[in-house]
Structure formats: C-alpha cells, structure tokens
Amino acid sequence: MIKNYFPLKLALGEQFCNREKERILLKDNITQMRPTVLVSPRRYGKSSLMHKVVSELNMPFASIDLFLAHDGAAVAKRITQGVAEVVSQIIPVSEKFLESVQKFFRNFKVTLSVGSFNIEATYHASAIDSTDQIFTSLQALSRLAKEKQKQVVFFIDEFQDIANANNSKAIQGAIRHVAQESSNVVFVFSGSNRGLLLELFDNKSLPLYMMCDKLMLQRMSSESYWPFIQKAATERWGDKIARPVFERIITYTELHPFYVNFLCSELWKADIAPDIDAVTNAWEYCFEIEERRLIAEIEKLTGNQREVLKAVAKQPVLEPTAHQFLTNVGLAYSSVHQAMKVLFEKDMLYKVKNEDNAILNSQIGQIRVLDPLLAYALRKYMN
C-alpha cells in the first residue's frame, strides 16, 4: 500500500501541512471560548484545519454540515445529531449512560446504539418548533458540559445555507443566545460561499452581527510546503526531489492547497521520484480528469465574464481598468467592472495577498484566476 501523503479530502495527522499561524489563532480562540468564522475559498483546507486543532486540544468535538439543509427541520436534525455526537464523547457509554443523559435532555427521546456506541437524540412527536428544538438541545449540551467540567467545540460547515431556512433569523438568534451565555460550548462556523457566509456576520439586521472573530485563510507560502514535500519524498523514494522539480509543482498549482495535493497525489503514485517532465505530464493528467467540470464552469458565465476571465488567465493584472487591459479584453470599462464584480463573488478571481517568488510575476494586489487548473484550461483553449 502506498501511503497517502496528499489526501484530496480531510488532511489528518501527519497529512496536515503547516498552517502554524492559523492553528495558533484558532487554538487561542477556542480555549478562550471565542466564536470564530473560518473564511476562505473552497478547498483551502478549513475543515482540515479545524480537525487538526481539535485533535491537538483533545476536546469533545462535533462537526456538522448544513449543505442543502434548506428548512428548519433539516437544520434542527443536523444540529441535534451534532449534540448527540458530543454527548457520547463527554459521558462514557455504560449501563448508566441513558439515565445520565436523559436528565439533561428532558424534552428528548434518547436512545443508545450498542453496535456503534453512539446516541441518537430525537424529539417526541409533540415537540415544539425547530427553533426551540435547536435552542433546547444546545442549552442542554451546555449544562451537561458544565457539570462534567468539559469545554466542547461545535463546528458548523456550510453555515451560509441556514439563510434558506424559513425561520432562519430565529435559528440564528437561538445559536447566538447559547454562544453568548455558555462558558462550555464554543462555536466555529465555515462555508464555501464567502459572500453569503460573511453576510450573516456583517449585516447589522441579522442576529449574528459581530458575534465572531474572523479567521481568513490565505494560500501558504512555497517555503511552508518545501519541508513537507521533501519529507514525503524521502519517505516514498529515499531521497529528496530536486529544487527545480519542486518549483514546477508550485508553478502549476500556484500554491492552491487542493491542487498542491491533487498534483502531488498523482506524482507520488510513481515508483521513482519525478523529474520536471513527470510534473508536466501529471498536471496534464489532472487537467484531463477535470476538463468536463472546467468546461461546465466556463459555460455558466456570460460572454463578458468569459472574456475577462480569459484575459486574466493569460496575463494577471494589477489595474483591470487600465487602458491596455480594456483594449486587450475589447470591452468598455463598465462591462469589465461588472464582470469582475461577479467573478469575485463567484470565487473565480482573487487578489494576491502575499507575494511568493516561486510564482512567476506574482505581486501583492494582483488579480489572478483563483483556480489554477481553470486558468491552465483557459490558456490551453486560447492556443
């Protein structure tokens, strides 16, 4: 079996790379019971960071996903499942387990699955609405954690989907109340749509306004990856890879966390260490795997948006309203401005926050295509 050094989903244990600064900040927030929202584009490793920090803190932990939880009942079900997940970590499963739990969850029917040693908390048929169910279950968890002298972490991913629930504001209010009152339950939120996610915490008219610290995840530096990749190379092939080979990996992936893993996962399948040609061939293979998805993403755009995206893929730009860029795109200022706005909202463009010498012509403030494989595809289609 080949060791999986570069997972395409959660990076756990030794698979996790760096993020030293973010780990310290998130640990501090959790230990100080400060609610936090993790903000980044898709596939930047928010969930992996969360799992890494909690494993290091060795705290009871629930991870739930609100993806497509578009009504109050679905949100309530997933939150109570998360509550049950944490409870099973706080109280050792034993003959007295149900009795210990039931006194805190008086409005719930609590069951024990002997096979999996988990609990399932459900409401009686006469239970009140989903908002009260969420509020009651989280309050009960808080009381239980306090009695057992435990601090627990409640991680809610794809949290922006809560906005689609019919009683969204009420649910947000219930979560805020527990987050502010509890000294034993700390909440961490994340989501794949940055615009919608931040709206929940930045809008003065919504219950979660200014409740959380924001932790923005950027791309890591090439020097953060250097020791990690070399360690994986030494374990796999008995020696390090050459610096030019490493730099070619960074050139293609542009330090996007998912694509570093995607490309390296292909390279590490080989029996011998890669040379530069092997990196190029593996990147082309990654493109072939993802080509249909990339084409589908491009086809969803308007003509103006496609033209702007192609122009940025060909030549990243500092001043998108400059005369030369407008001439290259062949569009008026207003059209470019509107297309740029939408492409940023769709997380298809981003501004460089940290300059890295390993990425050709990279500059702070420069606008680039966020997905390096999409940029590669656009350049390929233009040829």
CATH code of the domain covering residue 182: 3.40.50.300
- Classify residue 14: in a domain, yes or no: no
The number of CA neighbours under 13 Å toward the Cβ of 18 is 19
CATH code of the domain covering residue 254: 1.10.10
Q: Which residue among 216, 244, 277 closes a domain?
A: 216
Q: In terms of domains, do 199 and 240 share one?
A: no
- Classify residue 310: in a domain, yes or no: yes
The number of CA neighbours under 13 Å toward the Cβ of 50 is 27
Q: In terms of domains, do 208 and 230 share one?
A: no
Query: Which string of DSSP letters, residue by residue, matches 74-101?
Result: HHHHHHHHHHHHHHHHHS--STTHHHHH
- Classify residue 26: in a domain, yes or no: yes
- Classify residue 56: in a domain, yes or no: yes
The tokens of 17 are what? 């790379």
- Classify residue 241: in a domain, yes or no: yes
Query: Which string of DSSP letters, residue by residue, matches 130-192?
Result: HHHHHHHHHHHHHHHHHHTT--EEEEEESGGGGGGSTTHHHHHHHHHHHHHH-SSEEEEEE-S
pLDDT attached to residue 117 = 43
- Classify residue 319: in a domain, yes or no: yes
Binning pLDDT at 50, 70 and 90, where does residue 168 land?
Answer: very high
Average pLDDT on 159-168 reads 92
- Classify residue 154: in a domain, yes or no: yes
Q: In terms of domains, do 23 and 168 share one?
A: yes
pLDDT attached to residue 84 = 86
Q: In terms of domains, do 70 and 206 share one?
A: yes
Q: In terms of domains, do 184 and 235 share one?
A: no
> Alpha-carbon torsion 77, 80, 86, 89, what sign?
negative
Q: In terms of domains, do 50 and 184 share one?
A: yes
The answer, yes or no, to whether residue 106 has pLDDT greater than 80, is no
The answer, yes or no, to whether residue 80 has pLDDT greater than 80, is yes
Q: Which residue among 200, 216, 232 closes a domain?
A: 216
Q: In terms of domains, do 199 and 235 share one?
A: no
pLDDT attached to residue 262 = 98
The answer, yes or no, to whether residue 231 has pLDDT greater than 90, is yes
pLDDT attached to residue 88 = 83
Binning pLDDT at 50, 70 and 90, where does residue 98 land?
Answer: low
Q: In terms of domains, do 115 and 254 share one?
A: no
pLDDT tens track for 48-69: 999 999 999 999 999 999 998 8
- Classify residue 6: in a domain, yes or no: no
Closest by Cα among 360, 341, 333, 363 to 351? 363
Q: How many residues does the chain have?
A: 383
Q: In terms of domains, do 377 and 301 share one?
A: yes
Residue with the bigger pLDDT between 96 and 351: it is 351
The answer, yes or no, to whether residue 29 has pLDDT greater than 70, is yes
Q: Which residue among 216, 239, 271 closes a domain?
A: 216
pLDDT attached to residue 328 = 87
The answer, yes or no, to whether residue 124 has pLDDT greater than 70, is no
Rg (CA), the chain: 24
Average pLDDT on 287-293 reads 96
Binning pLDDT at 50, 70 and 90, where does residue 112 land?
Answer: low
Average pLDDT on 310-334 reads 91
> Alpha-carbon torsion 28, 31, 34, 36, what sign?
positive
The answer, yes or no, to whether residue 5 has pLDDT greater than 70, is yes
Decide the pairing of beta strands 185-190 and 152-157: parallel
pTM: 0.91
Contact, 168 vs 50, CB < 8 A?
A: no
Q: In terms of domains, do 37 and 183 share one?
A: yes
Residue the block writes with tokens 């578009």: 70
Binning pLDDT at 50, 70 and 90, where does residue 116 land?
Answer: very low
* Residues in Cβ contact with 330 at an 8 Å cutoff, skipping those fewer than 6 apart: 307
Total count of domains within the chain: 2
The tokens of 164 are what? 């689609």
Which residues are paired to 294 by β-bridges?
none
For residue 277, the tally of other CB atoms under 10 A from its CB is: 10
The tokens of 97 are what? 């387990």
pLDDT attached to residue 381 = 82
**Residue 280 domain boundaries:** 222-382
Average pLDDT on 196-218 reads 95
pLDDT attached to residue 111 = 64
